[in-house]
Amino acid sequence: MNTTTRPPITQRQRAVYDFICKRYAETGSGVGVREISESMGAVSPGASYCHLKYLEQRGYVRRTPGRANSILPIVEATDGD
């Protein structure tokens, strides 16, 4: 049984995470902060960056600093029970 769980996230953070997962499933590559901002209807990337920082700290996404479009979802493993 998988006993590791990630902390809960807000609806807005869930929307960001779902967008990242959807885009990754469609293209097989990561997304950038600007893409996420556009999907949220945000004027600047600042709000998206705050959501991404939280998601990364809690194990929902991973990023490679210094690389464009490097935000990837981390999918929780299940044990199949």
Return the CATH number at 58: 1.10.10.10
With respect to residue 2, please indicate whether it lies within any of the assigned structural domains.
no
With respect to residue 1, please indicate whether it lies within any of the assigned structural domains.
no
What is the structure's pLDDT at 81? 46
What is the structure's pLDDT at 77? 54
Residue (of 13, 20, 12) closest to 54 by Cα position = 13
With respect to residue 78, please indicate whether it lies within any of the assigned structural domains.
no
Domain interval for residue 18: 11-73
With respect to residue 63, please indicate whether it lies within any of the assigned structural domains.
yes
Please say whether the beta carbons of 47 and 37 come within 8 A.
Answer: yes
Phi, psi for residue 23 in degrees, rounded to 5: -65, -40
With respect to residue 36, please indicate whether it lies within any of the assigned structural domains.
yes
- What's this model's pTM, rounded to 2 decimal places? 0.82
pLDDT in tens, the chain (81 residues): 444 688 899 999 999 999 999 999 999 999 998 899 998 887 678 888 899 999 999 999 999 888 888 899 998 655 444
Q: In the chain, how many domains are there?
A: 1
